[in-house]
Chain A
Amino acid sequence: MSEKKPAVWLRLYSLLVYGFIYAPIIILVIFSFNTQKLNVRWEGFTLHWYSELFTDRQIFVATKNTLIIAIISTLVATVIGTLAALAMHRYRFPMYNASETLMYVPIVIPEVVMGISLLVFFALINFSLGITTIIFSHIAFNIPFVTLVVRARLHGYDKAIDEAAMDLGANEFTTFRRVTLPTIMPGVLSGAMLALTLSLDDYVITFFTAGPGSTTLPLRVYSMARFMVTPEINALSTVWVLFIFILLAVGQFAQRRRI
């Protein structure tokens, strides 16, 4: 496209959109340091809400649950999703198209429908709701996203290097471990990153598959935010935002180094 700079009005407009996107988050962060409990007007600077946050037992449990769910579901979904991506990239097998369609189902159906269908499913097989059911559900919506990302990475994959490895006497497993996997690793990692953030972010499906004692951070923030506005939610949000940004930065850094 042209190297000519966009028109002035377009640049001003874009600045406005960026403002619209960032303003609420910046305000959220600033008001986490507010002394006023109602949090309407700025009164003064305090770290009180942060100390409140770090001693909040429920927040601690919710954080622990969220991390357990995100890590386990990411690991499982990454393995299953990567295998599926390899299968779809290199092989033709019976029901290929059906498998591909199956991959799109969780992406295309509305989240609320997926949530209630899992709720009904677990109720029917008498599986009591809790962390386990949330993990099962998160794996289900994460697999297609991992596959999608890894397949995109495999798109330019040169099969000749696999064949070379096998010509040199490596069996399929060694070839996979020593040649294929290292090559597609950046794709696998970004798939895992996507799965991790989707899992950390999920509210709707977790909401329907959670039971007593398995509250996650998004569920906790929701129940707090529904009825009140207190700087403690702002403090929690700020820590959360910071955590995600660090995670993203680390992910970016790791990928840069590998390429």
Chain B
Amino acid sequence: MITEQIGERPKLKFSFTRLLRENFKAQGIFLITPANLYLFIFIVIPLIIVVVLSFLSRGSYGGIEFRFNLTNYTRLFDPLYGKVMIFSLGVGFGTTVICLLTGYPLAYFLAHAPIKQRSLLLFLILLPFWTNFIIRIYAWKMVLRSGGLLDVALQWLHITQEPLNLLYSPTAVMIGMVYEFLPFMILPLYTSLEKIENSLLEAAADLGAPPWKAFLRVTLPLSFPGMIAGTILTVIPAMGMFVVPDLLGGAKTILIGNVIKNQFLTARDWPFGAAASMLLMLITMVLTLYYTRKAGFGEELLV
């Protein structure tokens, strides 16, 4: 009956609905177009504008002069900004390494916890991170400031006598960053550790390997993809971070993210800010490519 109906339908010259109904490719294009169009307008075009902007120069009244040149890029290698770059790389990698070292045992604990408790324990790790990012950093400001709660606690325990003056120092920035990015490290590590078959460890034990050796030779290499994914998820946002240095680092701790922000908001030298953004993009792209080539773009990244 249905075929009969279709057969009887008068043939139209062109109908959009018919095209969609009959052409598989057209259906796909129809569904993907809104997303492609939207992302093209609001992501790709703005990025292209920034690329172009980075080769222009700042006009005398804070405007933009359309004269192609490379001075913005050469300025990035001034000792002043070179120091900021090195410092940013240091903070980015420092944060990542600390997250990796502190997160690995926890991920291992989660992967080995009784199955019934596992999802709850994992949920408890993530729960605070659904609260607002600025609020979490503010909470650390309360804890770290001179005469703040950390000082009170340490003095009460007679560990220190004097205030530590941690707030507005690179240490405070690192603490805030580690706090912020720890779950991004724990989650992929957990995913890859959980996948390791217990039989592999049993086989290692059967072949005479003590537990520490089985860990070094079996567990650690097999959790490598998780380490890579965690590193990418931590190092990229850490490098461009400007909020944590703003709130916990004071004027003394300036990262590349702060440089970019200041060029666009206070210094009003957009071309130079654009060049700094390009450098940041370049660094993150190189890191991402390097790591993904090494470990493959695993599903760990997509948890």
Contact = CB atoms under 8 A, between A and B. Distances in A.
Given A10-B105, A218-B134, A21 B281 contact: no
A3 interface: yes
B135 A139 contact: no
A18 B131 CA distance: 16
A27 interface: yes
A111 B103 CA distance: 24
Interface residues of A, number: 90
B209 interface: no
Contact of B132 (A13, A124, A221): A221
Contacts of B137: 225
B12 interface: no
A140 B143 CA distance: 35
A147 B124 CA distance: 26
- Binding site of B, secondary structure by majority: helix, strand, loop or mixed? helix
Residue with the highest number of chain B CB atoms closer than 10 Å, among A17, A21, A114: A21
Contact of B112 (A4, A28, A87, A229): A4
Given A106-B43, A172-B20, A93 B133 contact: no
Contacts of A88: 32
Interface string A92-130: 111100010011011011111110111111001000000
Residue with the highest number of chain A CB atoms closer than 10 Å, among B105, B110, B132, B139: B132
A203 B32 contact: no
Contact of A225 (B138, B147, B264, B285): B138
Given A91-B31, A172-B21, A221-B134, A102 B49 contact: no
Size category of the B interface is 35 or more
A55 interface: no
A109 B222 CA distance: 28
Given A6-B109, A116-B50, A121-B46, A237 B36 contact: no
B264 A1 contact: no
Interface string A219-259: 00110011001000110010011001100100000000000
A220 to B, nearest CB: 9
A139 B39 CA distance: 9
A35 interface: no
Interface in B152-166: 152
Interface of A: 1-6, 10-11, 13-14, 17-18, 20-25, 27-28, 31, 39-41, 79-81, 83-84, 86-88, 90-95, 99, 102-103, 105-106, 108-114, 116-121, 124, 136-137, 139-140, 143-144, 147-148, 152, 169, 171-172, 197, 200-201, 203-204, 208, 217-218, 221-222, 225-226, 229, 233-234, 237, 240-241, 244-245, 248
